[in-house]
Structure 1
Amino acid sequence: MRAKGSAMSPADVDSPVTEPPEYSVAAATSLQERRPNTLKHGDTFAVFDHNGDAYSGSGSPEGLFHRDTRHLSHLAVTINGARPLLLSSTLRDDNATLTCDLTNPDFVDDSGALALPHDSIHLRRSRFLWNGTCYERILVRNFHERPQQIEIRLAFAADFADLFEVRGKQRKQRGQMHPATAKRGEVHLSYTGLDGQKRTTRLGFDPPPLRLSATEAVYEIGLAPGQSRTLFLEINCQREPAITIGHRSFFFALRDARRALRTSSGRAASIVSSNEVFNEVVQRSISDLYMLITDTNEGPYPYAGIPWFSTVFGRDAIITAIETLWLDPEIARGVLAHLAANQATDFDPLSDAEPGKILHEVRFGEMAELREVPFRRYYGSVDSTPLFVMLAGQYLQRTGDASTIRTIWPNIEAALKWIDVHGDRDGDGFVEYGRRTEEGLANQGWKDSHDSIFHADGMLARGPIAIAEVQAYVYGAWEAASRMLRVLGHEDRAVEFSRRADDLRHRFDAVFFDAELGTYVLALDGDKQPCRVRSSNAGHALLTGLAIPERAEVVAKTLMSGASFSGWGIRTIPVTESRYNPMSYHNGSVWPHDNALIALGLARYGFRLHAARIFEGLFAASTYIDLRRLPELFCGFPRQRAQGPTFYPVACIPQAWAAAAPLSLLQSCLGIEFHTKQMQITFDTPYLPGFIEELEIRNLQIGSGSVDVAANRSGTSVVIDVLERRGHVRVVTFA
């Protein structure tokens, strides 16, 4: 079936997919098994093991990546030829630096006698990223009572693999590796891809090593008792060489990196509670969120996640902005501006582009440039466009910033037209998707696995497919358009969009609600047959207000049933459904962002206790996870007493919309709303989950003012007190 008005586009590829798409992440190695350390700045990220090394075996994401190319695939430090013993590996609370403390193992001489006992030599590796460069300082200290002659060897290599190769995609042909060049203190590794682009990694050492080759640097260090030496390493990803390498370069860059993180995260309201573990969760959420944010020409933009999705994703960033809008609306402004600047203006079947459509994904690697993968600038998501309009409306309501809305209004108009013309492919009033070529994503909602949309008997749905949550987002877009048009002075059009939203609400209820299931069906297939499957997707109808009030209670009951709610959160698919698999990506797992959005919807309809129950489950999960860091998803096995959640092997961590989930859940429980015109912040029937007795939110901004507030439990109620007020801000509580 063709999209209306798109005669230039080929027919939809509407057959069901029976094999996993070639772009899925291969699960050859479990990230949870290695529990790597991650760093990110801008378009550069790094994944290291706990020793600070990188070993790029099969399926391993370790290494230093810049713009979707692995610029360093191997890095390993040895002491006297042996791998050091790990003492500890720690990320700073703000994610600015990784510090690895190491020591020597036992060394024996040729006779078998102990020559140097373990814990005699201490290595402290301090590392961070800044402006396309990985900086490292290695401090070596002798704690033995005798002088020691120590060999420190740094082995390195660069495979210049495209990120999709690292993810498991095979290539028939690669470009040309160039011979390495080494000179005093520097090594250059380079590769020219089939796209004609030369990619270079420059390693700089200070002081220059005793021996330097294309694969390793060797230091011979004599240390008296208590004496230390410091080595500096810079790994530069295709930038001009730094003016200096060493102490000054390291500390100046470190100062700038920390300063930038403080400046960006300083925009957010601060949260402190009576629960110290929850405080750690909040601190890690804020730190991960602002580490993932990249400054684009249009403003701050949260990249989706490390290691597989450290780039621009439309859907992920919009949802992250929605989750954090109450906390830092500048994120939403940056997301709106960047997506507007990259909106599709023409048809391109390979990239699933249509005029007015909002980005799904952007890639910069060799395979994307050659279109071996379609993601160079890819538009294959059905929900990014209505979500874009939704976010614009929410941003205006949160900030009153009509100037930004006027600036991007042509883009909003184009997005609204896409929903009408290309989104509703058959004119039935619902928005459907179907990829234009076999290279595109088969499923184009947030559950984009090949098997995520199916019928009750497990048969995969044939496209074009209208999924439940997209209709909710379209409803939200119509409502947002109506609100924005009123502010812009177009009352007649505002009334029309409001009428359209109301019409969609009643048609959706008539077609999607299934009384026997006790919820909305998952989707309509290409023959307009309902996929009679219970799913978390139905919770998104609560998020935007699409669900008519009389359905809300039964939908909430189904979502919170034992079959759906695992104890940690709501499963994507409950245990009652044919394709339920708690270890799958989308058919039975628990996603923090999905739960956060559902909680916003539950709170919208007055089910704040349900929202608090979700909050408690995800908080409890975080207490079992390193750094209190919620992953992209975890398995949907039921919660067991005194046991933590079961991890998903290749889940990204950190992931922006998962990091933002606890922050969003706090808003859901407290019922925080903003009325900028009246300079009023309301707390509608606030509720605190059982693990929080007291909470303070400082620098909660509205318009030109801000407030500090305290929330304190009083029996079954929560009392909101204003601690400090800056400007003419009113705080109102509704019991």
Structure 2
Amino acid sequence: MRITVGPPILTINHGGTFMVTDLDGQIQQDGFLGIFAEDTRFLSYYACYANSSSWIRLRSTTTTYYASRVYLTNPEIITEDGAIQQNSLSLIISRTVEHGIHEDLDLTNYGLKPAKFTLEIALRSDFADIFEVSSGKYVRRGCLETKWDIEKKELHTSYKNKDFFRSLIYQPRNYDSQPHYANGRINYEIALQPGESWHACGNYILVENDRKREPIHLCYYKAVDEEVNTELEHLYRHWLDTVTEVTVANEEVYRAYRQSVSDTGALRLYDYDFGPDEWLPAAGVPKFVTLFGRDSLIATLQNMITHPAFARGTLKKLGQLQATEKDDWRDAQPGKILHEIRKGELAHFQKIPHTPYYGTADATMLYLIVLHEAWKWTGDDSLLHDYRDVILRCLEWIDRYGDLDGDGFQEYETRSPSGIENQGWKDSGDAIVYPDGSQVKAPKALCELQGYAFDAWMRMAEIFEYLDEGDRADRLRNKAAKLQAQFEETFWCEDIGFYAFTLDPDKKPVRTIASNPGHCLWSGIVSRDRAAQVVQKLLAPDMYSGWGIRTLSANNPAFNPFSYHRGSIWPHDNGIIALGFKRYSFTEETARLARDLFEATSYFASYRLPELYSGVKRSPGAFPVPYIEANVPQAWAAGSIFHLLQAILGLQANAPHKCLYVDPCLPHWIPEITLNRLEVGDACIQLRFWLEDGVTRWDATPQKGEIEVKQKAWQPWQVEAS
């Protein structure tokens, strides 16, 4: 039996605009519902009535990422001409988003008698900042004004606070009866004979100071017709037609891959486009429709096997926004890569530091890792020259600011009164705990930060060696070797057979069992002799739920499977750990982890992995339970599917030398898989893998350009201090 689970909301998005409603298409002001753009909620309340009676939902769904449809019917409606029988009227509300929102209202009278009533649309706007919507704490700062333009028949609601201006224009169009406005509602007088239908359109135009976000003037059927492509929809279709195509003898894997490709394209932030093939995605809908550092970088890493050029937009935009000065309010230091940027009212008036905010301890190292990986997959030497200054500033930041006290370890502590307490990927305020469940204070030296620094130095050493800068490469390798030795000496805890979660302010290892050391496997810093113990711990019952690896051991007093970071399961975390398993040759464990993630995926609506789900134990008749406020879609949740496949197939590129390495070990549940249009440098290749008598076979067919494919396992870094 399959159980579909998902949030009881309808979410549609396109670029920086998105709309979240209840399943009946309505919007209640309490909760994270409304029309949003640029971190402002433009519509905070929507209700539809027939003679002041609420409609009854029959069914609703999102038909594509940018479109939704709601089927409603009527309760019994008392009119002066008599009662309109329940279920005799049909109302279909269809919505599409591209820049603004387009809404279609379609009524049909299926009764045997004429129906005469008033269709009412109630709209309200609070123009709240997205941080206020998220917290539920609102502060009114400016002035609201609503006007009905009698001549144009448009509703204008505006908000002004000094030089911050936002406006929502509701524009009825193509109506079969005239709209009127009274008592906060747009009213249509409806008179339908039996079998007769009525139609009206409504455009939601979002105004941000001098910028207008107007929807496309297409009704629902044309907007969702693949043959009627707008420019932005053409870019989305181009993405789907460009990425690596996967055919696989497992329906769950195939559907999960296709949905993840679709979600990645659906999250495209068109405002940050540098060109048709240079773009980057939002982190997730609805709370993270903006540019993030860590999220964008990890999503870029995940997409190397789908379309390596995906990296160009991320590297360019984050490089442009690299910090150039010290600013404690924004936790910025020269060379640091940003954490998050916001453009709402609170950011505009510097009430929050997100302009941008730099409170992340890992994004700067991840930037170097992504740049190296992009070079290995694209073979584009211009990346090394164009971003040389960015590279050097990142390296300087790691030495000067990432290591707060000069002890050789990366650690963090916010300097901003509004900064983030925890600045690794587990960035909720209560995520980092001692074995007794109490909170670890800053500064904190998370174990994965050491792995990222080690990996970044080794990767940059390879780049500088390639550029004939051997002395610089040697210095980086020596630093990496020293860090690895120091890491083993300080972080390894023999009494628990595991690496410390972090070092606390007294430089004492925090012996908490958590998923973070799995990232150390991925980075290659872990000693080969200790890798088996790390894998064993991560797959022990207290860490492994059966649906994936938890963020925190179930034996910790702070464990809560429904929390954000203290026992939940994050797909991207598991994807990175799967690559770590593979790097240390734990192929069976890689397949086990991938299998359970794919099986979890099959329970979620449309095979779409949420940002995270709960860490409850898997048992007969159970199913994965989503985190109540998880973002769906989420860029790095979608990308985790790509990491799982990369781990199973052992794909590693060396495009500068026109080579691709494979190290496949197919599990029985993937007896055959083919990758078509896989890009490595200027070449495209088809890879086919299949099981034969329990042994994985493979074949490579070049489709464009020159490429050599070899079987070779990905190994941890080999480093010795000179």
State the alpha-carbon separation in 1 of the partners of residues 475 and 523 from structure 2: 18
Mapped contact 2:336–2:394 kept (Cα < 8 A): yes
Any idea what SS the aligned residue of 2:288 has? Answer: coil
Deviates further, 614-623 or 522-531: 614-623
- The change in CA–CA distance for 1:573 and 1:229 in structure 2 (over 3 A counts) is same
Letter in 2 for 1:129: V
Corresponding residue for residue 72 of structure 2: 102
Q: Kindly state the Cα deviation for residue 445 of structure 1 after the two structures are TM-superposed.
A: 0.9
User: What residue in structure 1 maps to residue 377 of structure 2?
Assistant: 398
Residue type matched to 1:693 in 2?
P
1:649 alignment partner in structure 2: 628
1:510 positional shift: 0.9
Contact 1:304/1:312 (<8 A) preserved: yes
8 Å CA contact 1:187–1:213 kept in 2: the answer is no
Between the aligned residues of both structures, percent identity stands at 33
Further displaced range: 415-424 or 693-702: 693-702
Alignment of 1:236 onto 2:211: no
> 1:677-722 deviations in whole A, cap 9, x for unaligned?
34333321x1334443332222111222212333223243322234
CA apart distance, 1:117: 4.0
- Per the alignment, do residues 379 and 589 of structure 1 end up closer, same or farther by CA in structure 2, a change over 3 Å counting? same
In 2, the alpha carbon distance for the partners of 1:83 and 1:683 equals 59
One-letter amino acid of the counterpart of residue 584, structure 1 = S
Kindly provide the CA deviation profile for residues 214-253 of structure 1, in whole angstroms up to 9, marking residues without a partner as x.
Answer: 7322222333444433321110111448699675997599
In the other structure, the counterpart of 1:73 is 44
Pairs within 5 Å for 1:309-388: 309-388=288-367
SS at match of 1:167: helix
Distance in 2 (alpha carbons) for counterparts of 1:394 and 1:34: 35
**Distance in 2 between the 1:271 and 1:426 partners?**
48
Task: Find the counterpart in structure 2 of residue 187 from structure 1.
Answer: 155
**TM-superposed deviation, 1:734:** 5.3
Q: 1:225 to 1:719 in 2, by over 3 A?
A: farther
CA shift for structure 1 position 96? 3.2
Residue type of the alignment partner of 1:431? Q
Change in Cα spacing, 1:408 to 1:81, as seen in structure 2 (3 Å) is: same
Q: CA deviation at 1:548?
A: 1.6
For residue 144 of structure 1, report the CA deviation from its aligned partner. 3.6
Indicate the residue corresponding to 2:707 in structure 1.
Answer: 729
Compared CA separation, residues 91 and 708, structure 1 to 2 (3 A):
farther
Bigger Cα displacement from structure 2, 291-300 vs 544-553? 291-300
C-alpha separation between the residues in 2 aligned to 1:513 and 1:656? 33
Match of 1:259 in 2: 234
- TM superposition shift of 1:110: 8.0
Which residue does the alignment assign to 1:4? none
Deviations 1:481-538 (A, max 9, x none): 1122123231221122122212211111111111221111001112111111111000
1:439 and 1:159 mapped to 2: Cα distance?
Answer: 24
Map 1:200-219 onto structure 2 (within 5 A): 200-207=167-174, 209-213=178-182, 215-219=184-188
Q: How does 1:472-621 map to 2 (within 5 A)?
A: 472-621=451-600
In the other structure, the counterpart of 2:163 is 196
**Amino acid aligned to 1:153:** E
CA–CA separation in structure 2 for the residues paired with 1:624 and 1:566: 16
In structure 2, the CA distance between the partners of 1:221 and 1:279, relative to structure 1 (3 Å rule), is farther
AA of the residue aligned to 1:190: S
Q: What is the identity, as a one-letter code, of the residue corresponding to 1:96?
A: Y
- Shift in Å at residue 169 of structure 1? 5.7
**Equivalent residue for 2:256, pick from 281, 285, 290:** 281
The 5 A counterparts of 1:89-128 are 89-93=60-64, 95-107=65-77, 115-118=84-87, 120-128=88-96
Question: What is the CA deviation profile of residues 540-571 of structure 1, one whole-angstrom value per residue up to 9, with x for unaligned ones?
Answer: 11011011211111111111111111101111
Specify the code of the residue in structure 2 equivalent to 1:42: G
Q: 1:47 is aligned with what amino acid?
A: V
The 3 A distance-change label for structure 1 pair 716 and 108 is: farther
> What corresponds to 1:16 in structure 2?
none
Can you give the 5+ residue segments of structure 1 that lack an aligned partner in the other structure? 1-31
Identify which of 679, 699, 716 aligns with 1:701. 679
Q: Deviations over 1:340-382 (max 9, x none)?
A: 0001000111110000010001010111222222222100110
SS in 1 for 2:370: helix
User: Who is 1:471 aligned against?
Assistant: 450
Q: 1-side partners of 2:582 and 2:301: how far apart?
A: 15
Is the alpha carbon distance of 1:243 and 1:278 closer, same or farther for their aligned partners in structure 2, counting shifts above 3 Å? Answer: closer
Q: Measure how far apart 1:625 and its partner are.
A: 1.7
TM-score with structure 2 setting the length: 0.91
What is the letter of the counterpart of residue 668 of structure 1?
Answer: A
Question: In structure 2, what is the Cα distance between the partners aligned to 1:262 and 1:64?
Answer: 25
Counterpart of 1:51 (choices 24, 40, 48) is 24
Shift of 1:406: 1.3
- CA separation of 1:217 and 1:529: change in aligned 2, threshold 3 A: same
Deviation at 1:273, TM superposition (A): 2.1
1:54 is paired with a residue whose SS is coil
**2:119 aligned to which of 138, 149, 152:** 152
Could you say what secondary structure the match of 2:305 adopts?
coil
Name the CA shift for 1:591/1:63 in 2 (closer, same or farther; >3 Å). same
- Displacement of 1:199 in angstroms is 0.6
CA contact (8 A) 1:374 1:440 kept: yes
Equivalent position of 2:419 in the other structure: 440
Contact 1:128 1:254 in 2 (8 A): no
CA shift in 2, pair 1:709/1:516, >3 Å: same
Q: What amino acid does structure 2 have at the position aligned with 1:270?
A: E
d(CA) in 1 for partners of 2:708, 2:104: 50
The counterpart of 1:86, out of the listed 57, 65, 82, is 57
Which amino acid is 1:590 matched to? I
Could you tell me whether the CA contact under 8 Å between 2:677 and 2:703 is conserved in 1?
A: no
**Whole-Å separation in 1 of the counterparts to 2:77 and 2:698:** 63
Distance 1:410 1:244, change over 3 A: closer
**Which of 246, 262, 270 lines up with 1:271 in the alignment?**
246
Q: Which AA in structure 1 matches 2:25?
A: G
Does the 8 A contact of 1:181 with 1:214 survive in 2?
no
Among residues 186, 192, 196, which one is paired with 1:223 in the alignment? Answer: 192
- The answer on whether the counterparts of 1:720 and 1:733 sit within 8 Å (CA) in structure 2 is no
SS in structure 1 of the partner of residue 168 of structure 2? strand
Paired letter, 1:212:
Y
Q: Note the C-alpha offset of 1:726.
A: 2.6
Partner of 2:720: none
1:49-89 deviation per Cα after TM superposition (whole angstroms, max 9, x unaligned): 222222222xx111001100000111222344433333332
- Matched residue count: 696
Residues 1:137 and 2:116 aligned together = no
* Equivalent AA in structure 1 for residue 403 of structure 2: D
- Measure the CA separation in 1 of the matches of 2:582 and 2:390: 31
For residues 704-719 of structure 1, the aligned pairs below 5 Å read: 704-719=682-697
Q: Secondary structure of 1:362's match?
A: coil
Instruction: Letter of the 1:101 partner, please give it.
Output: Y
Q: Which moved more, 1:662-671 or 1:136-145?
A: 136-145
Between the aligned partners of 2:200 and 2:520, the Cα distance in structure 1 is: 57
